[in-house]
Copies of this chain bind each other. A is one copy, B any other.
Amino acid sequence: MNGKPLQSVKVFAPASVANVGCGFDVLAFAINGPGDVVEISRKEIPGVVIESITGDNGKLPLIPIENTAGRAVLALIDELEHSPDFGMKIRIEKRMPLGSGLGSSAASAAGAAVAANAILGNPFSRKELLQFALEGELAASGSPHGDNISASLLGGFVLVRSHQPLDVIELNVPKELVVTVLHPHIEMKTKNTRLILRRSVQLSKAVTQWGNVGGLIAGLYREDYDLIGRSLHDEIVEPARAILIPGFDEMKETAMKTGALGFSISGAGSSVFALSRSIETAENIGEALGKVMDTYNLAFDIHISEINTQGCHILEQTEVST
């Protein structure tokens, strides 16, 4: 137990960009915003309840086991040697849209795991929390994909080398990397965007893909921005999903012309992202992408961010009054 016991903890859990072009189901990075806020407070009677969820238009379940945040907390408590003699109530503020491809459910699960851990006096390390957050994600996606979870929880640029057993590698983050995210207001469900993927891929395309994954990771360590850009190609998933995103090809062309290192779909979409080397370029890209969206008469949000290397962080905490 570190320090005094806490009565309540409020955690910010950042959005994240998964897949990152070539790294379907294995690569992701966190951004500074948007993100969810998860607050957990002690209650007298043991057990977990979800007190409130805002910003979800009533779409998310309040039953803990069916909710990503609730299920993460339950999984964490399950792993304790001794059950706590108090309960936890969870308040979730969804500050990013559902189904936007920015790891919304993952952020809630990661934030809940970090908040519950803090309330309990941090019995688990950040990396140990991954398994609980992942268990939470199961409630939303039906299958565990650790990419968004790992990025939101740990921050930075992560590689999920393996899911069974879970093996998450925190990669080097080149200092100049900036991301432009554009979220067109269309909701996509990860479950559905998975269904449109073919179950098998050509060996030759798979080889191209793992060459690019290798190139991207080497580029991150060498801080070789050109190599990062050359590696940001996805021949397998992007072609299947891009057709669901209005103006995708036009946005990609525009981003590349405006100085992007690379451009692809964020997670399963509908958000798209571009990497570049400066805030100024990232803003120019955002502006240019916005103009493309305008021609489609689609509402959208734009987020400009460096890679968030902090992950989930505590916004506020109150100690138990004695």
Contacts and interface: CB of A to CB of B under 8 A. Distances in A.
Given A161-B231, A200-B203, A202-B200, A23 B210 contact: yes
Interface in A219-241: 221, 227, 230-231, 236
Interface stretch (A120-128, A167-175, A265-273): A167-175
A197 B203 contact: yes
A129 interface: no
A23 B218 CA distance: 14
B159 A214 contact: yes
A247 to B, nearest CB: 27
A214 B169 CA distance: 9
A35 interface: no
A82 interface: no
Contacts of A26: 207, 210-211, 214
Interface in A23-41: 23-27
A213 B231 CA distance: 14
B210 A209 contact: yes
B214 A203 contact: no
Interface residues of A, number: 40
A211 B172 contact: no
Interface string A91-102: 000000000000
A196 B201 CA distance: 17
Interface string A172-212: 10000000000000000000000001111111101111111
A213 B215 CA distance: 10
A171 to B, nearest CB: 6
A322 B236 CA distance: 61
A217 interface: yes
B203 A201 contact: yes
A160 interface: yes
A162 B171 CA distance: 22
A236 B209 CA distance: 14
Contacts of A162: 208, 211-212, 215, 230
Given A215-B161, A218-B217, A230-B162, A199 B210 contact: no
Interface of A: 22-27, 159-162, 167, 169, 171-172, 197-204, 206-218, 221, 227, 230-231, 236
